[in-house]
Structure formats: structure tokens, C-alpha cells
Structure 1
Amino acid sequence: MELEGDLDVQVPTDAGDGTVAFTFSVTNAGADPIELQFSDACKAEFVVRADGQEVWRFTDGRMFAQVLGSDRLAPDETATYDGEWSDPQPGSYTAVAELEAQNATCEARTEFTV
């Protein structure tokens, strides 16, 4: 099983709504299909750090449906998972996205400035 992750961050402009949008793309880079298994409706975690300290976590204060689920990825197929951070303070940050599958791991990170 070989997964590759990519994290895209859309930072608000001066005229924007003040929300940072995260898109985590997970691609099956292997030759065989992969069935990702999830224990609840949260399929990806997004964490923002500044100077090595965690400043925001997507799942904090949220509840997710407790339902088993799965995503099947054929070779070279990509699944995307989204998250939003409302009203961040100006600064330089590192965003980390992690796949929440029970049977696979995948992570991506990127730097961004608000």
C-alpha cells in the first residue's frame, strides 16, 4: 500500500471572509486498489502550528457521526478531504494534514502566511 499526500492551503485575501481553507489530497501511488477504513465521519485531521506550538486543530470542539465508512482508491486515483480554520490571527504557520484511516497512514505539510 503506497499513499502520497499533498496539502493545499487557500489563505484569505483582504476582501475575503477570513477563513483559511485546507484541501488534503491522498493518491494511491501503488499498483493495487486500496480500501481505506474509517471508524467515524472524520476522514482527515488538520493541525496548524506556529513556532513549534499547536495553535489550532480541526477536530477540537467538533463531534463526528460514529459510523463505519470506507473510501476505495484505484491505482492513481485521488481522494480529497477538506477543512476550514475561521478567523486566524496574522502570522506564519505550518499546516499538517493526517489521514484518519484505521488501516493506512498518510501525511502532508506546508508552510503558509496569513
Structure 2
Amino acid sequence: MTLDGSLETAADGTRDAVMLVFTVTNTGDEAVDLQFSDACKAEFVLEDDEGAEVWRFTEGRMFAQVLSSETIAPGEEATYEAEWSDPVPGEYTAVAELRAQSARCEARTSVSVPS
């Protein structure tokens, strides 16, 4: 099983939000079955330049407790999105992590929130 992740971010000063798009690609030769224990399939975190957590997508949120699965065929991808509303201006590292029970995939990127 080979999963590669990429993370794209965009700070939009007119909307006062940072969009995060996490893409998980199956680069292997066989399909990958992902099993999830709730409705949240990916976690998103913003860290400051010292590595301290500034924002977490799941913080203060509740997700339906429902078992689900998703299959990613070879060469295919799955995309998960989040939005950081009302961000604080600054330089951050965005981290996305797949929350599947039997598969690991993570991606990081820098994001700048203008003042």
C-alpha cells in the first residue's frame, strides 16, 4: 500500500479564511481500502513557527459516529477539505493527516495569512 499526500492552502483576505485541500493519491499497484470510524476523514492543524498548535479542525466539533469505507484505485486520488475561519495573520505550517484506521498518510506545507 502506497499513499502519497499533498496539501494546498490559500489565504483569501476578502473572505477572512484559509482553505486547506488534502489530496491522497494511491501510487501503488493495488487498490487501497480505507476504513473510517467517524465522519471526519482527515485532520488539519496549523502550527506557528515554534511548532505550537494554533488551530485544529476537529477542536470543538462533533462528528457522526458511523463506520464507513472508501476505496482508492491505483493511480486515483481522494480529496479532503477544511476551512480555517477568521485566521490570525502570520506564518504557519499546515499539517493534514488521514484518519483511516489502517492507513497512514500525511502532508505539510507553509501558509502565510496576510494582515
> Smaller-chain TM-score range?
over 0.9
- Give the whole-Å Cα distance in 2 for the aligned partners of 1:72 and 1:52: 33
User: What is the match of residue 73 of structure 1?
Assistant: 72
Q: Which runs of 4+ in 1 moved over 6 A?
A: none
* Runs of at least 5 residues in structure 2 that lack an aligned partner in the other structure: none
Deviation digits for residues 46-82 of structure 1, max 9, x if unmatched?
Answer: 0000021000000000000000011101001000000
User: What is the match of residue 37 of structure 1?
Assistant: 35
1:5-84 aligned at under 5 Å gives the runs 5-13=5-13, 16-50=14-48, 51-84=50-83
Amino acid at match of 1:29: T
Would you say how many aligned residue pairs link Structure 1 and Structure 2? 112
* Runs of at least 5 residues in structure 1 that lack an aligned partner in the other structure: none
1:10, distance to aligned residue in structure 2 (A): 1.2
Describe the SS at the equivalent of 2:65: coil
| TM-score of the two chains, using structure 2 as the length reference | 0.96
1:43, distance to aligned residue in structure 2 (A): 0.1
| TM-score of the two chains, using structure 1 as the length reference | 0.96
Q: How large is the Cα RMSD of the aligned pairs?
A: 0.6
- Give the whole-Å Cα distance in 1 for the aligned partners of 2:102 and 2:32: 10
- Give the whole-Å Cα distance in 2 for the aligned partners of 1:93 and 1:108: 14
Say if 2:4 is the partner of 1:4. Answer: yes
